[in-house]
Amino acid sequence: MEVRMTGITKSFGSNSVLRGVDFDIRPGEVHALMGENGAGKSTLMNILTGLHKADDGRVFINGEERIFSNPKEAEEHGLSFIHQEMNTWSDMTVLENLFIGKEIKNSLGWIKTKEMKALAKETFNELGIHLDLNRDVGTLSVGQQQMIEIAKSLMTNAEVIIMDEPTAALTEREIDVLFKIIAKLKSRNVSIIYISHRMEEIFKISDRITVMRDGVSVDTKNTSETHNDEIVRMMVGRDLEDYYPKKDAKIGEVVFEAKQLGQEKVFKDISFQVKSGEIVGFSGLMGAGRTEVMRSIFGIDALDEGELYLEGEKIQIKAPSDAIRQGIGFLTEDRKVEGLILDYSIRDNISLPSIDGFKKHFLIDTKAEEDFTGMLVKRLNIKSMSQEDPTSSLSGGNQQKVVLAKWVGIGSKVLILDEPTRGVDVGAKREIYQLMNELAERGVAIIMVSSDLPEILGVSDRVIVIHEGKLAGELPKAEATEEKIMTLATGGY
Amino acid sequence: MKNEVENIQIGKKKFEYKELVTKLGPLLALIVLVIFVTFLNPSFISATNLLNLLRQVSTNALIAFGMTFVIITGGIDLSVGSTLALSSALTAGMIVSGLDPVLAMIVGVGIGFVLGAVNGLLITKGKMAPFIATLATMTIFRGLTLVLTDGKPITGIGDSFIFKFMGRGYLFGIPFPVVLTLVCFAVLFMLLHKMTFGRKTFAIGGNEKAAYIAGIKSDRIKVMIYAISGMMASISGIIITSRLNSAQPTAGTSYEMDAIASVVLGGTSLSGGRGRIVGTLIGALIIGTLNNGLNLLGVSSFYQQVVKGIVIIIAVLIDRKK
């Protein structure tokens, strides 16, 4: 199938995400789509598959203009999208998942299991997948679930399959299997749009690369005619040294120490220290347990074992309120679910962890609260009309700054940031890095969990790698490279 | 920095149509209703009838104020009617057995508080859905009331001045229950809109996870809120007991419905996170005007229920439009 998108424009509220993007797909090619978080890749793909409606621009399928009004319609016409968060039903079997909503039925509505099994087996064989059709999907690994999704799209006769960061949670071996499947799909003349941050993979499997930045497509290159550095430059728009601001905070005494932290079946023997003025990056694959460690330090989930020390003193944390009282702040991975009350104003959100500090004769001193918020809004450069604007009206970057302002506001000594720049545009990203540096200069000890390797390398003074719930290794800035981190993260030595 | 703060606040005065509908909608509905009923039967607007109406409204309004807190957190309290009956029976029982009436009333309110706290504990520590927990305690409290009273009213409460005054007294010509309701309204208004307790209540309703992570002890706040709801029910119970000069085992039956309806009519969202106690007061007045007005117009009590239900549906539909 040949797809051509021209001049695609899209904004969400005042946030313009796509500004006249051109993109095309040829039959049987692997087309890598690259760009930083927030560059507009997912939005572009969501427009192609009918989840969002473009404000402007045209889409041609095999030369004919065509706009899909929903993902189901796109699927019927041979375009399928395998999202990062997969659409599987964990309590249903592999077979049920493969045919969900598309069961083969006789005229009375009875489901014809035998025929479904035969078709599923045929597809699996073709792709070289070996999976028990009767197993519950919840018992399968992420990689195996992904294979189900691929098989599913193939069974709907997909001619274009979009894969969003398909290898983010896979092991080396699973990645190899995936690549073999992609090769087979190619030979059947299926096109793949491959969204990924991993340079190495892109060069291994793609035919062409399109780089997006700030809502425009920078350029499309034949993979054989370009190289790593050129792509990075296109993605970042400047050299990497400028992208991550220089940090010159003085690293001082140990502020926070975790000793032998453990949570049954999730992580074990996690010990580390963070010094004042230091940014420690936590790297690892998705599901390695990084987030879980941080959540239990902050008291959201319980620790089964281990001790926490703040400035040399042992501390007990049973709930987030204890952590906050000790001066620990935590920016969670998902700001919309856990970081913000989206319907509430910037002020209500920023002052929430500090609200008890505004009590004056039993009442809230609203003047003090406004001044406090005003100061933080200015310091973090949060762009809005008013403190009263609901946070749902802000762009991703500004929302993230509101969450940060909450924790700056309590005067955090230790700041835990879980994926601080996820879904944030490039400009705001840099501002967040700058703010982290500025806080470090004031002696805050910062822990940053990130799945973005360039970010880990660009921002951290020290990198700690977690693999399957255990410390896999620690690398000082000077020694850390993408290869070394990936080796540790996947269990290699 | 002063300038900066002021600059940021310019946007605040922006005229918001939606907000205006939320704020003035219920009041407008009340005014229209009053005009309508007066037009059909001018005796509605007489001072005697209005004072009577306000007194009728007060018992529901008190419960609805507590319910407002509960609903803002995204919860519900179905047990208020039974809490009212149980605390009333215990209060009356204590007075009959010779306890000082003032002390008995204070203990009675305390009992309401504790019964509410039990709801709160079931919901937070027991991790039960508020609907289920309070549905269960609704029947438990009612059952206990029937056991305690043997299904018969408790009479012979005596003629303590203070006790009679609660339901039957007048202060500067205004029925005391109305005065008490206004005092409770003022206190709860401050608690909800001017104090950190209220801010935390809203935060829990807006996004409980985010509120917890921001250090709010959501369990403690929720237990307090259900306790307040129980306490308000027991205050309402004292007024009713005083008026009837007896504690009825069936008192307060289905009062939760009028209270919930008042809260919803006042613009508080059942999904939590949004609401105003002023709205609840207006909502209770709308319900009261409907009851009183339909009586005056001679509409049968069967039809009254139909009309009340329809009004609620219309109010929610208008609310949805926003």
Contact B184, B236 (CB under 8 A): no
Contact A71, A45 (CB under 8 A): no
Contact A344 B206 (CB under 8 A): yes
Q: What average pLDDT does range A364-390 have in this prediction?
A: 91
Domain boundaries, chain A: 3-237, 243-489
Contact B203 A348 (CB under 8 A): yes
Residue of B nearest to A321 (CA): B215
Contact A477, A283 (CB under 8 A): no
A348 CB neighbours in chain B (<8 A) are 199, 202-203
B5 CB neighbours in chain A (<8 A) are 370-371, 374
Q: What single-letter amino acid sits at B161?
A: F
CATH for B121: 1.10.3470
Residue of B nearest to A382 (CA): B8
User: Taken in order A175, A181, A186, A192, is the CA torsion positive or negative?
Assistant: negative
Provide the residue range defining the domain that includes B79. 44-321
Classify domain A243-489 at the CATH superfamily level: P-loop containing nucleotide triphosphate hydrolases (3.40.50.300)
Q: What's the first-to-final CA gap in chain B, in angstroms?
A: 36
Residue of B nearest to A359 (CA): B196
Compute how many other C-beta atoms are within 10 angstroms of the C-beta atom of residue A274: 24
Q: What is the distance, to the nearest Å, from the Cα of residue B193 to the centroid of all Cα atoms in its chain? A: 16
Q: What average pLDDT does range A251-268 have in this prediction?
A: 93
A332 CB neighbours in chain B (<8 A) are 213
Q: pTM of the entire structure?
A: 0.78
Q: Which residue's entry shows tokens 């970010």? A: A455
Concatenating the DSSP letter of every residue in A122-182 gives HHHHHHT----TTSBGGGS-HHHHHHHHHHHHHHTT-SEEEEESTTTT--HHHHHHHHHHH
For helices B255-265 and B47-72, the axis angle rounded to 10 degrees is 80
Equal fold, A3-237 vs A243-489 = yes
Long-range interactions of B132-137: CB distance < 8 A, separation 24+: B134/B76, B134/B77, B134/B78, B134/B79, B135/B78, B135/B79, B137/B79, B137/B82, B137/B83
For Cα atoms A101, A105, A106, give the angle at the middle one, nearest 5 degrees: 160
B200 CB neighbours in chain A (<8 A) are 355
What is the rounded distance in angstroms from the CA atom of residue A44 to the CA atom of residue A17? 9
What is the rounded distance in angstroms from the CA atom of residue A297 to the CA atom of residue A272? 12
Which residues, 6 or more positions from A439, have their beta carbon under 8 angstroms from its beta carbon? A408, A412, A415, A446
B22 CB neighbours in chain A (<8 A) are none
The whole-angstrom distance between B101's CA and the closest CA on chain A is 32
Helices (H), A206-329: 228-236, 240-243, 290-297, 320-325
Phi–psi pair at A52, nearest 5 degrees: -115, 160
A342 CB neighbours in chain B (<8 A) are 206-207
Q: What is the pLDDT of residue B20?
A: 66
3-state secondary structure of A70: coil
Parallel, antiparallel, or unpaired: how do β-strands A208-213 and A30-34 relate?
A: parallel
Phi–psi pair at A267, nearest 5 degrees: -150, 165
Contact B216 A352 (CB under 8 A): yes
Q: What is the pLDDT of residue B12?
A: 40
Among A352, A353, A374, the residue with its CB nearest the CB of B1 is A374
Count each helix (H run) and each strand (E run) in chain A, helices first.
17, 22
Contact B214 A385 (CB under 8 A): no
Contact A374 B4 (CB under 8 A): yes
Closest alpha carbon to A304 in A293, A289, A320, A314: A293
| Dihedral in degrees, nearest 10, Cα atoms B262, B264, B269, B271 | 100
Contact A388 B211 (CB under 8 A): no
Q: What average pLDDT does range A426-433 have in this prediction?
A: 83
> Is B182 within the bounds of a domain?
yes
Closest alpha carbon to B271 in B72, B52, B10: B72
Closest alpha carbon to B251 in B35, B127, B92: B92
Compute how many other C-beta atoms are within 10 angstroms of the C-beta atom of residue A130: 10
Among B1, B200, B207, the residue with its CB nearest the CB of A375 is B1
| Positions in chain B short of pLDDT 50 | 1-15
| Dihedral in degrees, nearest 10, Cα atoms B153, B155, B160, B162 | 10
pLDDT tens for A110-121 read 888 999 999 999
Contact A321 B217 (CB under 8 A): yes
The whole-angstrom distance between B268's CA and the closest CA on chain A is 14
Q: What one-character DSSP code corresponds to residue A206? A: -
Contact A352 B274 (CB under 8 A): no
Concatenating the DSSP letter of every residue in A407-466 gives HHHTT-SEEEEESTTTT--HHHHHHHHHHHHHHHHTT-EEEEE-S-HHHHHHH-SEEEEE
Contact A385 B9 (CB under 8 A): no
What is the rounded distance in angstroms from the CA atom of residue B241 to the CA atom of residue B239? 6
A350 CB neighbours in chain B (<8 A) are none
Q: What is the ipTM of this complex?
A: 0.84
Contact A343 B215 (CB under 8 A): no
Residue of A nearest to B217 (CA): A321
Q: What is the pLDDT of residue A492?
A: 67
What is the rounded distance in angstroms from the CA atom of residue A357 to the CA atom of residue A367? 13
> Is B301 within the bounds of a domain?
yes
Residue of A nearest to B8 (CA): A386
What's the number of CA atoms in the CB half-sphere (13 Å) around residue B216? 29
User: In whole numbers, what is the pLDDT of chain A averaged over residues?
Assistant: 89
| Dihedral in degrees, nearest 10, Cα atoms B191, B194, B200, B201 | 50
Residues of A with CB under 8 A from a CB of B: 298, 300, 319-321, 323-325, 330, 332, 337-344, 348, 352-353, 355-356, 358-359, 362-364, 370-371, 374-375, 377-378, 384-389, 406
Q: What one-character DSSP code corresponds to residue A335? A: I
pLDDT tens for B284-297 read 999 999 999 999 88
What is the rounded distance in angstroms from the CA atom of residue A316 to the CA atom of residue A122? 57
What's the number of CA atoms in the CB half-sphere (13 Å) around residue A340? 25
Contact A344 B202 (CB under 8 A): yes
A338 CB neighbours in chain B (<8 A) are 207, 209-210, 213
Among B10, B12, B214, the residue with its CB nearest the CB of A406 is B214
A352 CB neighbours in chain B (<8 A) are 199, 203, 211, 214-216
> Is B291 within the bounds of a domain?
yes
Contact B9 A321 (CB under 8 A): no
Contact B211 A352 (CB under 8 A): yes
The whole-angstrom distance between B193's CA and the closest CA on chain A is 9
pLDDT tens for A292-328 read 999 999 999 999 999 999 999 999 999 999 999 999 9
Parallel, antiparallel, or unpaired: how do β-strands A191-195 and A313-315 relate?
A: unpaired
CA distances B282 to A486, B25, B49, B96, B135, Å, are 63, 10, 18, 37, 27
Among B8, B210, B211, the residue with its CB nearest the CB of A387 is B8
| Dihedral in degrees, nearest 10, Cα atoms B266, B269, B273, B276 | 0
Q: What is the pLDDT of residue B5?
A: 39
Contact B210 A341 (CB under 8 A): yes
Residue of B nearest to A385 (CA): B11
Q: B147: buried, middle or exposed (CB in 10 Å: 19+, 13-18, 0-12)?
A: exposed
> Is B15 within the bounds of a domain?
no
Residue of A nearest to B207 (CA): A341
Q: What is the pLDDT of residue A128?
A: 80
Long-range interactions of B123-126: CB distance < 8 A, separation 24+: B123/B75, B123/B222, B123/B226, B124/B218, B124/B219, B124/B222, B124/B223, B125/B219
Cα diameter, chain A: 75
Fold of A3-237: Rossmann fold (3.40.50)
A324 CB neighbours in chain B (<8 A) are 214-215
> Is B39 within the bounds of a domain?
no
Structural domains counted in chain B: 1
The whole-angstrom distance between A294's CA and the closest CA on chain B is 12
User: Taken in order B167, B171, B175, B179, is the CA torsion positive or negative?
Assistant: negative
pLDDT tens for A406-425 read 999 999 999 999 999 887 77
What is the rounded distance in angstroms from the CA atom of residue A356 to the CA atom of residue A364? 8
| Element of type H or E holding A299 | none
Closest alpha carbon to B290 in B274, B270, B312: B312
B4 CB neighbours in chain A (<8 A) are 374, 378
Among A300, A362, A388, the residue with its CB nearest the CB of B12 is A388
Looking at mean pLDDT, say which of A54-63, A76-85, B99-108, B224-233 comes out highest: B224-233
CA distances A236 to A45, A262, A425, A455, Å, are 21, 39, 11, 12
> Is B190 within the bounds of a domain?
yes
Parallel, antiparallel, or unpaired: how do β-strands A359-360 and A414-418 relate?
A: unpaired
The whole-angstrom distance between A358's CA and the closest CA on chain B is 8
Residue A476, both tokens: 């000082």
> Is B27 within the bounds of a domain?
no
Closest alpha carbon to A153 in A96, A76, A209, A261: A76
Contact B213 A320 (CB under 8 A): yes
Contact B215 A342 (CB under 8 A): no
- A–B CB contacts, 8 A cutoff, strictly below: 101
Phi-psi region of B91 (alpha: psi -120 to 50; beta: other; left: phi over 0): alpha
What is the rounded distance in angstroms from the CA atom of residue B5 to the CA atom of residue A378? 9
Q: What is the pLDDT of residue A402?
A: 95
> Is B34 within the bounds of a domain?
no
3-state secondary structure of A191: strand
